Amino acid sequence: MKFIAADPRLQQALDLLCAHAPLYSDLPGFSVTWLPGEAGRICWVRKGSDVTLRADSISDCLFLLGRVLTMPESTSESLSPRFSRLAAMIDLSRNSVYTLKTMKRFLCQLALMGFNTAYLYMEDTYELPGYPYFGYRRGRYSVAEQKELDDFADALGIELVPCIQTLAHLRTAIRWKYMEPMRDTVDNLMVGQEDTVALVEAMIAHFSKTFRSRRIHLGMDEAVSLGTGRYLRYQGYRSHREIIMEHLQITCGLCKKYGLAPMIWDDMLFRDETPLMNYYGDSDPITPEQKAQFPDNISFVYWDYYHDTREEYERQLRRRGCVKTLFAGGMWKWGGWVPNFTKSFHDSMLAVEACCAYDVQEIMVTLWGDDGDETPLATVLPGLALYGLLRFGPAQPGQTDAMCRLLSDTPLAVYESMEHLDLIPDLPEKNLEALMPHKLLLYGDMASELFMGSITNNPQRLACYYKELSGKYAAMLETIRDVHLKGIMEMYYHLAASLSARCEAAMALHEGYDKKDPLTMDDAIQKLMAFAACTKQFHRAAVLNWSRECKGQGMEIIDLRLGGIQARCQALIQRLDLYRDGIIDTLTELDEPELPYQGLLSEDGHTPGRELYGEIVTVNTLCHQFSI
């Protein structure tokens, strides 16, 4: 597909689209004319192979072009945006740092979907001159890579904003010996320390030169242990509020020095207003007198990916009162290996309507990668497409189908089927709690079961469910042309097969041991071998997809997790052989009965919630960590 535009800036952007983002469309290329927008509206008109775009920015032109390509039966459209900025926040700090090739394709897709801003969430995954161990072995972006991404985004009309951490969430950065004077707790910086101020200034000074944007996100969220480590030991007790306000004044002052407008996640400023540091509590709106306590150049980001009613979003927005507020929702890709579209779609539609009612002018879609970033970036396209539509009015998930087909030649239904790995029998049909049974089953130990009895009362039925799902994925694979998405669906095919084999192996293991029968023990060994073989194939597919999207650093965590499953199968087989041969008298891990799970629970009070790998794989000590 080829586009020709008289405006050189638009032509450059169109050339980048064609070079970096495959477009699956039956429409021919177009001759594109760009004219100014009119009275807060953007519009397009198509006559044959000529397209006229009326917009005030490159980003809006590219969005309109996306509308042209996804609406082949239409010849014109006029739209009024309900808020000025639509942003995606890309998590680059949970082990996956996306390659420049991946980022460039993704930025092109964002532009076509209507995004004009992108935040790069980098805790320590960027090169910081003067601090050689900052981001060491983490796949950090070099200074040259940072500038290249900024240049590319700017050519598409997208503002690239650094989204960093200047207080908490710095565990991987402050592990090194040279950082010890700057460390309060294992996760938090030591506020007021001279070296800490120098580090923060180095961060802010660096991004004032590397990115075009005059805005910077300073993070500062979830610092709940602030002041409880070395700070308490050397400085004595001070409240969270006092310490954070001191640090906020320092960082915002540095931003003024370097000509940047700062923003922060605002949870810590509200947690002190509620019992037990609850972010989503209730309090009176912030008054002008209270606002005056904050630096005059600060903006606040209210983040919320959890609530299921518009009323709750509006209640939280009211609490912000008169401060400048941005909103951050989410596309759920941080619960395991698969995205959750049910909750993402449901909550996003409600949140955006609440934001529009309160005249919030920037909405951010977070793409977190908590606990290893196992879900591929390419899976979230439908959720982002929905936000692009919501910017111009109420929309429904089904309307994203055309954009899915344009960018991957794959219907929405295929994306939605990914979530079926979690929509299992015995769990709610609508997964509004973002439960992730697939991850609990995959990593949970078959001998020392923690979750099976709380997830299902019929493991055989669950095994059949996953086997049938793997067959459905195999059929879908025959219809997918996009190479990357085909590889992702092949990975899910192997994951479904692995989960079916895991259920079969667990049942056979316990039955074989209980019956003390050589034939049933042989069956257990065969099924453990089958599970290991399935997991090996899943692992191979996971490595392929990681390698297509990400730098190599961080993939070792995936290798350890999936390789650990295979090693565990071999160890259990060996344990069964030792037992059968009379070398050991019993298998203590199989003697102990399974109790109802009492970790993080869903609202029903018995189904396991969203646990992290360390809590899933064992109740024994996986890794001892000091608090300071």
Give all domains of the chain, ordered by start, each with its CATH number: 3-79 (3.30.160.230), 85-416 (3.20.20.80), 436-616 (1.20.120.670)
Residues 103-139: pLDDT tens digits?
999 999 999 999 999 999 999 999 999 999 999 999 9
Q: Is the pLDDT of residue 617 over 90?
A: yes
pLDDT-derived band at 218, boundaries 50, 70, 90: very high
Evaluate if residue 28 carries a pLDDT over 90: no
**Per-residue model confidence (pLDDT) at position 245:** 96
pLDDT band at 38 (very low <50, low <70, confident <90, very high): confident
The count of C-alpha atoms lying within 13 angstroms of the C-alpha of 167, restricted to the half-sphere facing its C-beta, is 28
Amino acid making up residue 390: L
Mean pLDDT, rounded, for 519-526: 96
Token representation of residue 532: 């290991």
pLDDT of residue 429: 79
pLDDT at 130: 97
Q: Are strands 30-35 and 42-47 parallel, antiparallel or unpaired?
A: unpaired
Q: Name the burial class of residue 537, with classes exposed (0-12), middle (13-18) and buried (19+) by CB atoms within 10 angstroms of its CB.
A: middle
The Cβ-side half-sphere exposure at 618, using a 13 Å CA radius, reads 9
**436/283 Cα distance (integer angstroms):** 33
> 183 vs 126, 204, 313, 314, 501, CA distance in Å?
20, 19, 35, 37, 46
Pairing between strand 42-47 and 85-91? unpaired
Closest CA to 319 of 363, 352, 283: 283
Q: Which two tokens stand for residue 29?
A: 């290329």
Convert the pLDDT of each residue in 175-186 to its tens digit: 999 999 999 999
Rounded to whole angstroms, how far apart are CA atoms 174 and 195?
Answer: 12
Answer whether 302's CB lies under 8 Å from 320's CB: yes
Model pLDDT, residue 276: 81
Distance CA(70)–CA(409), nearest Å, equals: 12
pLDDT, one tens digit per residue, over 371-380 is: 999 999 999 9
The predicted pLDDT at position 39 comes to 85
Residue 626 pLDDT exceeds 80: no
Per-residue confidence (pLDDT) for residue 46, from 0 to 100: 97
Map 467-479 to HEC letters.
HHHHHHHHHHHCC
- What backbone phi and psi angles, to 5 degrees, belong to 575? -65, -40
pLDDT band at 528 (very low <50, low <70, confident <90, very high): very high
The model's confidence at residue 281, banded by pLDDT at 50, 70 and 90, is confident
Give the C-alpha separation, 470 to 447, whole Å: 25
Whether 583 shows a pLDDT value over 90: the answer reads yes
Two tokens, residue 201: 């200034």
Residue 231 pLDDT grade (very low, low, confident, very high; cuts 50, 70, 90): very high
**pLDDT attached to residue 198:** 98
Q: Is the pLDDT of residue 473 over 80?
A: yes
